[in-house]
Chains A and B, each alone.
Chain A
């Protein structure tokens, strides 16, 4: 069965610093990969997705993610975090979601 692991439950980062959220998947074939963000009290919103092609994908709000087949990873990055990036982030492979990573941004 497919599964998604987000090793970091909670990350605290200073405003303006870079952010990287880790995601590993276990899947029979190359899955379709997604990153979603959930702000407090809101539903999930798609940040970016990978189906095929260029392994570095750009998303909304300045986020990007890199697919690495050899590591079964799809890590999310942002070069400079804004206070509004404080939220919970979910990695998904197909219909399987990780447990989420909560990001706190300190001034």
Chain B
């Protein structure tokens, strides 16, 4: 079974702090994704990566950055956390030959981040 793990299930941070969310997948998938999930808005794509050291902006990248130094690991960084970034963050991975949205995504359990 594909396994996508996220470093924390719950996280509480203060405004202005730098926050790291870590995601690891064990299936050698090329593509990795970060979404945020908010009630009534569904999932919104923040960033994705289709290869090591490659990244692409999603629909809502403002206030976030990402890092992919190894194929299995994709980190989401909040440079200066704000209360508007309180949300559920979901990581996903998928396999494909190149960047494509065609393949099934496998999701981690999510990190619920609260910024005070």
Interface residues of A (CB under 8 A from B): 4, 6, 9, 31-32, 34, 36, 41-46, 49, 51, 90, 92, 94-100
Contact = CB atoms under 8 A, between A and B. Distances in A.
Nearest to B102: A32
Given A43-B109, A44-B90, A94 B101 contact: yes
B12 interface: no
Given A95-B58, A98-B42, A45 B107 contact: yes
Interface residues of B, number: 22
Given A51-B102, A95-B45, A95-B101, A43 B40 contact: no
A6 B43 CA distance: 13
Interface string B83-110: 0000000101000000001101111111
Contacts of A4: 42
Given A46-B104, A95-B58, A41 B109 contact: yes
Interface in B7-59: 33, 35, 40-45, 48, 58
Nearest to A42: B109
A9 B102 CA distance: 26
A43 B107 contact: yes
